[in-house]
Amino acid sequence: MEKSSITPEERREAIAKRERRKENIERKADGLPPLLDPKKAKARARRKERKRRRDRWSEERRHVSKHDGRLKWVKAKKAAGVWVPVEEWKARRIAEENAAYPATEDRLLREREDVRVSMD
């Protein structure tokens, strides 16, 4: 008996592909999206994960969302940063400023800020 040129692994892959193809034809008839090849799905997941990581630290994310209860991107020491409510951010900034410049006769401590937060 002649030995087959394909390995059992290749044979399993070919059978799985054939089954998937049949199933995808049925799914298409039912109006459903096709099932992805596991290798393609894995590559897609890897790309998405890489994009998510890249975007996570990108500048575009460091904005203040425009609805009420806005959040401000605050850079943390040795860390990526966190989203905090704008009111909390303003209070923090004022507290830091007050700590840096003590009150004098001509300069009183600031308690709140009425100016709008820039949207950069």
Q: What confidence tens digit (pLDDT) does each residue in 98-115 have? A: 777 766 666 666 665 554
Q: What is the average per-residue pLDDT within 31-46? A: 84
Residue 74: inside a domain:
yes
pTM above 0.75, yes or no: no
Residue 69 belongs to what domain range?
A: 62-120
Residues 106 and 77 in one domain: yes
Closest CA to 97 of 79, 111, 118: 111
Does residue 88 sit in the same domain as residue 102?
A: yes
Q: List, as own/partner pairs, every contact residues 31-34 make where C-beta atoms lie below 8 angstroms and the sequence separation is at least 24, other chains included.
A: none
> How large a percentage of the chain has pLDDT more than 70?
57
